[in-house]
Amino acid sequence: MKKIVLALLYVIIFLISGCAQEAPLSETRFFIGTVCFISVYDNKNQTALDEAFKKIEALERLLSANMTETEVELVNRNAGILETHVSAETFEVVKKGLEYSAMSGGTFDITIGPLTSLWRIGSSSATVPDAEDLDKAVGLIDFADVEIDGGDYTVFLISQGMRLDLGAIAKGYIADEAAKVLVENGIGSAIINLGGNVVALGSNGGKAWSIGVRNPLSDADEIVGVIQCADKSIVTSGIYERYFEEGGTRYHHILNPATGYPFDNELASVTIVGESSADCDALSTVAFTKGLSDGLALVEELDGMEAVFITKDMEVYITSGLEKTFNITNGEFTIRR
């Protein structure tokens, strides 16, 4: 646990050391199964921080697949039986999740729940499931079998056993909502980091923020390079955040809905830079599932979205919009174009 905490806080430590302003008002709390860190640089009022954390907690109670009484769990329990009325917030995340599922052609799928609950990666009971169980889970995954109605905010999973898992998109949505709360409370300069899902609100005293991109191949707190940005979200999906080892093989948490096993491609991580953290979160996972070549082409085509792809071979590929604002700081990595 300590290692995870250190790793997640690394971005922030790096930020603070590169910061010319006086010390921010910072606080760390534990929600959504991870370390949530907020640092406010202007208008430092504790109420704003408290309100933002309250928002994170409230949204976890709607969106978590790890708690029993959330709206997402109600939708899951009602699978194959009846539609579920949900809040506007839950509806929005499910709708966006379905859009990205369609955009990916199904390599990203928010009905991945039967599979993630078999593997339980991230928990102490993580295990390689039986082939038969994997087949069964794979057969239940299909985002096209989710019916939503925007008129009265209902969600229906058409077959029993189907399960939503919004783990690839909800952290980003929650980060956006926490940022809105800060802005509503008069804050214009802040960093929100929900387990590596970062929102860099406003600027760092009129200058760009320096956000470190973690070395996905090292357990040590190292970075590969630095992105300079203002008023952006930076979100990474990778093989280092959640994994376990069994029989000498490492199994990470981004699962292929077609095979039931973790994606095994040339990528170690994908970092997306963009406006909305929900979009960055979804896109980082989508791009990871697509692999280097198709993932790069996909992000390059999207307006306002940039990416840093890091391969297991220590090569770094960036989209054209980052050429002036991303710099490699780690000599072990090589930039390729």
Binding site for ligand FAD (CB under 6 A): 32-33, 60, 63-64, 66, 108-110, 112, 116, 122, 165-168, 170-171, 197, 237, 241-242, 253-255, 257, 281, 284-285, 289
Q: How far is the CB of 115 from ligand FAD (least distance, A)?
A: 7
In this complex, which beta carbon is closest to ligand FAD, that of residue 177 or of residue 241? 241
Q: How far is the CB of 115 from Mg ion (least distance, A)?
A: 16
List the single partner that 165 binds among ligand FAD, Mg ion, none, CB under 5 to 8 Å by kind: ligand FAD
In this complex, which beta carbon is closest to Mg ion, that of residue 210 or of residue 271? 271
CB 101 within 8 A of CB 108: yes
Q: Residue written as tokens 């998109």?
A: 169
Q: How far is the CB of 180 from Mg ion (least distance, A)?
A: 20
List the single partner that 89 binds among ligand FAD, Mg ion, none, CB under 5 to 8 Å by kind: none
* DSSP annotation string for 143-162: GGGEEEETTTTEEEESSTT-
Q: How far is the CB of 221 from ligand FAD (least distance, A)?
A: 17
In this complex, which beta carbon is closest to Mg ion, that of residue 165 or of residue 281? 281
In this complex, which beta carbon is closest to Mg ion, that of residue 90 or of residue 271? 271
| Residues that bind Mg ion in the complex, under the rule CB under 5 A | 168, 237, 281, 284-285
57: nearest Cα among 194, 202, 165, 189: 194
CB 326 within 8 A of CB 225: yes
Alpha helices by DSSP H, the chain: 2-17, 46-63, 71-77, 88-104, 113-119, 131-140, 170-184, 277-290, 292-301
In this complex, which beta carbon is closest to Mg ion, that of residue 24 or of residue 176? 176
Q: How far is the CB of 254 from Mg ion (least distance, A)?
A: 9
Q: Which positions ≥6 away from 277 have C-beta within 8 Å?
A: 171, 172, 173, 175, 176, 179, 197, 199, 233, 235
Both tokens of 120, joined, read 């339980």
The C-alpha atoms of residue 106 and residue 64 are separated, in whole angstroms, by 22
List the single partner that 170 binds among Mg ion, ligand FAD, none, CB under 5 to 8 Å by kind: ligand FAD
Q: Which secondary structure element, helix H or strand E, spans residue 194, and what is its range?
A: strand 190-194
